[in-house]
A and B are shown apart, each in its own frame.
Chain A
Amino acid sequence: ETGVTQTPRHLVMGMTNKKSLKCEQHLGHNAMYWYKQSAKKPLELMFVYSLEERVENNSVPSRFSPECPNSSHLFLHLHTLQPEDSALYLCASSQSYPGRRHYTFGSGTRLTVV
């Protein structure tokens, strides 16, 4: 356990479903991140929250909707996804934003859209 917990570990969903990914950290970090990792591609930064405020939104389609209710929790709400959205979704946290400190990652959620 790294201190960043992601649930569920695996998720299979249809294109018309609505689901949410959850990330939780109890490291006292004040920045949290969502990354998407697809095969043979670099990690893609999706969203950044610093002090519970969204500071980055890298042209992510609106079918992905993040939520950060407090500094320990981060959600990624999913609806009407496409098969190309199948990937490993990684949550990370750090002591500060921007990247002046190292990130602690969760184990990821393996998402399959059918």
Chain B
Amino acid sequence: SQQGEEDPQALSIQEGENATMNCSYKTSINNLQWYRQNSGRGLVHLNLIRSNEREKHSGRLRVTLDTSKKSSSLLITASRAADTASYFCATAGGQGGSEKLVFGKGTKLTVNP
């Protein structure tokens, strides 16, 4: 299936440390997106990286994409307690793949003050 799979499932760090979350997928994609969800709330879009892009930066967030390894990473630098949330990757299929946006199970990040 095209579904993204995040790794690790849970991550606990101290404030100020960097957090890295990984996502792997199985089929070709058009783009890969990262979302954040605070407990019991809706998902908030963080970043979209297209299949022909390798890296994108947005503030303290850095997203990389390696289509040869079918993997992506989300790096949050200088983490804050407010970054505590679940983070999801979602893939949108490329040629021959399903076009709908498919989400993984997410990484639960806890940033301890």
Contact = CB atoms under 8 A, between A and B. Distances in A.
Interface of A: 2, 4, 6, 35, 40-43, 45, 48, 56, 88, 90, 92, 97-108, 110
Interface SS, B side: strand
Interface SS, A side: loop
A92 B42 CA distance: 9
B99 A105 contact: no
Interface in B1-49: 3, 30-31, 33, 35, 40-45, 48
A99 B90 contact: yes
B25 to A, nearest CB: 12
B42 A45 contact: no
A108 B41 CA distance: 6
Q: How large is the interface on B (under 10, 10 to 19, 20 to 34, 35 or more residues)?
A: 20 to 34
Given A42-B3, A43-B103, A45-B102, A102 B42 contact: no
Contacts of B31: 99-100
B44 A105 contact: yes
6 contacts: A2-B42, A41-B105, A90-B43, A100-B99, A105-B35, A108-B42
A35 B48 CA distance: 20
Given A40-B105, A100-B30, A107 B100 contact: no
